[in-house]
Amino acid sequence: MIKVLSTFICYLLSILLSHSQVEHAEILSKTDSIKAYYNSETYEVINYINGKEYKHYHLHNQSNPYFQEAQGSGNVYYNGNSFKNLNLIYDINLDELIAIPSEFAFQNTHIALNKTCIDSFDLKINHQTYKLIHLRNINSQFKSLSNGYYEIAHKGKHKLLIQYTCSIIKPEGHTVYEPIENKYILVNGEYYNINYKRKLLTLFPEDKKRIKKQYRRLQITYKNMTTPQLVELVKFTETL
């Protein structure tokens, strides 16, 4: 009788222990689900917020060092991940990308994103989208380029990159940020600066006359050419 009772008690304990293990497993499963939801819906969304707080160093009623002098919106490609529809500012004086996280909008917080983690970004300002890549650890053959952000203005045979920066002048005590565009064209595996017309013509010594003729059709000085006009001229060089 005692043996039967002992067996029965062991049976009950095994059932209770089994239920306990199932409940524990269910709790762990639910915990893992909550963690997974947090990671997918929250953590990854703000994972790009890695950097230092950006302090405005210009007076609001004066010139600013922003690309196109405006705030925009766009996507950031960061450590192989994409973060979309962000409020962004590109400071061309510091060559820094600034994010205004909507999660901290009530604090009006601006973050200078960790540049080492940024692969590229798209920036939409005034209905125009600019695509910029982050060049780093540049191959020695690209000796004319330095680390930093460059707009990909044209992706053809003669790729066209534009680096944005600025000069600082202080007339009558006011600080003015004058935008500068450094233009580079890829020819025979090397990038060359083409800020001046003569630099472009030097790259195509046998076709100078044809390029000049095409250029005159634009009826504008080389210095005042817009990026789309320069792209058209670069496309023409690809047909030579």
Dist. CA 180–CA 163, nearest whole Å: 8
Amino acid at 11: Y
Same domain, 105 and 153: yes
Dist. CA 95–CA 114, nearest whole Å: 12
Residue at a domain's end among 195, 212, 228 = 195
Q: Supply 43's token pair.
A: 């953590």
Same domain, 133 and 230: no
Instruction: For 17-39, write each residue's pLDDT tens digit.
Output: 454 444 444 444 544 554 444 34
Half-sphere exposure of 186 (CA within 13 A, CB side): 14
Amino acid at 101: P
Same domain, 79 and 33: no
Q: Kindly report the pTM of this predicted structure.
A: 0.78
Range of the domain at 13: 2-45
Structural domains in the chain (count): 3
Half-sphere exposure of 97 (CA within 13 A, CB side): 32
Same domain, 163 and 77: yes
pLDDT tens over the chain, length 240 residues:
444 444 444 444 454 445 444 444 444 454 455 444 434 444 455 667 788 999 999 887 789 999 999 999 999 999 888 999 999 999 999 999 999 988 766 678 899 999 999 999 999 999 999 999 999 877 666 778 999 999 999 999 999 999 999 999 988 878 999 999 999 999 999 999 999 999 999 999 999 999 999 999 988 999 999 999 999 999 999 999
Dist. CA 157–CA 185, nearest whole Å: 10
| Bridging pattern class, strands 148-154 and 128-135 | antiparallel
